Amino acid sequence: MSIENVRVAAIQMVSGPEVEQNIESARRLVGEAARGGASLVLLPEYWPILGLHETDKLAKAEAMGDGPIQRFMSELSRELGIWLIGGTLPLRSPVDGKVLNTLLVCDAAGNAVSRYDKIHLFGFTRGTESYDESRTIVAGDDPASFAAPFGKVGLSVCYDLRFPELYRALGDCALMVVPSAFTYTTGKAHWEILLRARAIENQCYVLAAAQGGRHANGRRTWGHSMFIDPWGEVLAVLPEGEGVVAGELSAERIASVRESLPALQHRRL
């Protein structure tokens, strides 16, 4: 597969507390992306469950390699012949009362080929709005990437976006993915700025799949799933609600940006 003809897509969802309903929404939207020609599809953070309470995901946590969420991902990627990146799903952790917030990658044959456990856990308080992922999530330790047919794909999740050192640690990537559930407040202020900065700094494509709307638990997420090129240009965006954002990767575009502004070669630190 040549990078010049690779189409990628990000799925925007408004996930709720019922795993089965979220799976059916994901099936429909991923199918739409695949029918549109996407060979790699990214789901948002918390796509299988965004519960009424932050502890709801504990009951749905799966052991690595087993469970209905992982089986769905494997079967769907094999059925559609696509690479499927499952935004995040809850996996069992060694700590009682907590899970791992894990990004899982399935190849076009349905094999789980890579995983990334979210390293940076979101915490934010302003007035009555308060979040602390560390209450129910165990942080991961290691950056992760995988080799797709068109090049290296770097993995990150949501709050990671604020830590550029993680993206530097991923190295030379053709694409970096950012499944997210940014809050409306923080997303409105910082989401696009941070995504474009990561694309510009690393001179690669960035694909961001977001939660985007009002959820059953009252939380409002920012949405604005995006596909951004290595110059920082936003090629596609979906402001709010369910849907698909898609675009084409171009090796020529990456090479052109890096040749005209060889910042990666100029690094001293």
Q: Is the pLDDT reported for residue 24 higher than 50?
A: yes
User: Could you give the CA distance from residue 178 to residue 26 in angstroms, rounded to a whole number?
Assistant: 17
Measured distance between the N- and C-terminal CA atoms of the chain, rounded to whole angstroms = 35
Domains along the sequence of the chain with CATH? 3-266 (3.60.110.10)
User: Could you give the CA distance from residue 201 to residue 196 in angstroms, rounded to a whole number?
Assistant: 9
Whether the model pTM is above 0.85 = yes
Question: Over pLDDT 90: what percentage of the chain?
Answer: 96
Amino acid at 261: L
The bridge status of strand 234-238 relative to strand 112-117 is unpaired
Q: Which one from 118, 173, 204, 242 is the annotated catalytic residue? A: 118
User: Could you give the CA distance from residue 26 to residue 32 in angstroms, rounded to a whole number?
Assistant: 10
Q: Which of 98, 104, 103, 166 is nearest to 138 (CA)?
A: 98
Q: What average pLDDT does the chain have?
A: 96
Q: Which tokens go with 218?
A: 């009252």
pLDDT at 1: 38
Question: Over pLDDT 70: what percentage of the chain?
Answer: 99
User: Could you give the CA distance from residue 22 to residue 260 in angstroms, rounded to a whole number?
Assistant: 44
Q: Which residues contact 117 (CB under 8 A, 6 or more apart)?
A: 91, 100, 101, 102, 103, 138, 139, 140, 141, 142
Q: Is the pLDDT reported for residue 2 higher than 70?
A: no
pLDDT digits (tens, 9 = 90+) for 156-210: 999 999 999 999 999 999 999 999 999 999 999 999 999 999 999 999 999 999 9
In the block, residue with structure tokens 């597969």: 1
Q: Is the pLDDT reported for residue 241 higher than 90?
A: yes
Q: Which one from 57, 98, 133, 158 is the annotated catalytic residue? A: 158
pLDDT at 4: 61
pLDDT digits (tens, 9 = 90+) for 26-49: 999 999 999 999 999 999 999 999
3-state SS class at 119 = coil
Is residue 45 annotated as a catalytic residue, yes or no?
yes
Q: Is the pLDDT reported for residue 3 higher than 80?
A: no
pLDDT at 240: 98
